[in-house]
Structure 1
Amino acid sequence: MHIHNLSQKNSLLNTFISEIRDVTVQKDRMRFRRNIERIGEILGYEMSKVLDYNLVDIKTPLGTSQINLIQNDIVLCSILRAGIPLHNGLLNYFDTAENAFISAYRHHEGDSDNFEIIVEYLACPNLENKTLILADPMLATGRSMVSTFEALKPYGKPKAIHLVSTIGAQEGVDYVCDYFSKDTHLWIATVDKKLNEKGYIIPGLGDAGDLSFGEKLQH
């Protein structure tokens, strides 16, 4: 797998990462969502550098200009609900992309730390020979990303796959590397070293869905 860890070079991205981690800044949900969105925009911009381009003639009022434009048929798929701000950031840059949405969540039996990934809702266009961007803000264990892709398989075989995350754990990065093909790209803002016993990223930032949209009742 081609891993693009943007934290390995200093940039403005550091500011947005620091703010989504900061417990004082996190209290402002609108700012948290906007920072995730901006991180998505940066990741999308970096991803655009490896896509396919063709030279196109553009007619201006005074003549013709030639420019290389993206030729990929992109499908952007995000995992609800935490993935919505990241999805919006990517969609700001890939504004003609088709869109897919899937709900995938952890189901714990009782008080156990063990969990399974439950997929309950999926809306997806045809993926055959498309460029699939699979976005999930938190790449913890990697199991949600894999379960989502398994659920997408009946919709066709993409010609290229790009995974996009805001923060990951090394264990999750290793897990998706073992599962996805070697020509898959992972675009991630930063990678933390470990997970805790419940499978959450340490130091991470907490629950991205709750920080974006408010706490949910557990059932």
Structure 2
Amino acid sequence: MQIHNLSKTPSVLNSFMLEIRDTNIQKDRMRFRRNIERIGEVLGYELSKSLTFEAKTIETPLGSSNTTLYNEDIVLCSILRAGVPLHNGLLNYFDKAENAFISAYRHHKHNPESFEIIVEYLACPSLEGKTLILADPMLATGQSMVATFEALKPFGTPKDIHLVSVIGAQEGVDFVSQHFEKNAHLWIADIDDHLNDKGYIIPGLGDAGDLAFGHKLQQ
């Protein structure tokens, strides 16, 4: 897998990352969602450079202009519910993309330190021969990404696969690297040190879904 860690190059992205991590600023849910969306826009822009393009000529009021446009059929899939702001940011740039949504959550069978990923709701167009962008803001263990991709397989085989995350742990990056093909891409804003004993990213930022939409009741 090809890994593109945007934190390696300082940019305006650093400001958005600082704000989603800051315990005081992240209390503002609207700003948290907007920052995740803006991070999605930056990641989408960088991702777009790897797509295939074709020449196109358009007519302006005063003449002709030549440009190049990407010529891939994109399906943008996000993992509910935390993935919604990231999905919106990517969709701002890939506005003609088809869209898929899937729910995936951690189910703790016996104790808080062990869990399995449960996939329930799924809505998806055909993926056959298309470019799949799979978005999940937090790449912790990597199990959600893998479980989601397995659930999408009945919808066809994508031509190319791009994973998009805001923050990941090295363990999660290593896990998805083992389960996706070498020509797949991971676009990520930052990679943190490790996971704690409950599988959460350290230093991370907390629960992205709760910060974006409020605390949920545990079942």
> How far does residue 112 in structure 1 lie from its aligned partner after superposition?
3.4
Residue in 1 aligned with 2:141? 141
Residue in 1 aligned with 2:194? 194
CA distance in 2, matches of 1:75, 1:64: 31
> How far does residue 61 in structure 1 lie from its aligned partner after superposition?
1.6
RMSD: 0.6
**Length-normalised TM-score, structure 1:** 0.99
Deviation readout 1:96-129 (Å, 9 max, x if unpaired) = 0000000000001243310000001000000000
Superposed, 1:58-207 pairs within 5 Å as: 58-207=58-207
CA distance in 2, matches of 1:116, 1:65: 54
Q: How many residues align?
A: 219
CA distance in 2, matches of 1:153, 1:20: 33
SS of equivalent to 2:168: strand
CA distance in 1, matches of 2:216, 2:50: 38
Task: Give identity over the alignment, percent.
Answer: 73
> How far does residue 217 in structure 1 lie from its aligned partner after superposition?
0.4
Deviation readout 1:4-36 (Å, 9 max, x if unpaired) = 000001111011111100000011000000000
What is the identity, as a one-letter code, of the residue corresponding to 2:147?
S
CA distance in 2, matches of 1:156, 1:101: 16
What is the identity, as a one-letter code, of the residue corresponding to 2:45?
Y
The structure 1 segments of at least 4 consecutive aligned residues displaced by more than 3 Å after TM superposition are: none
CA distance in 2, matches of 1:63, 1:84: 41
Residue in 2 aligned with 1:4? 4
Gap regions ≥5 residues in structure 1:
none
> How far does residue 62 in structure 1 lie from its aligned partner after superposition?
2.0
**Length-normalised TM-score, structure 2:** 0.99
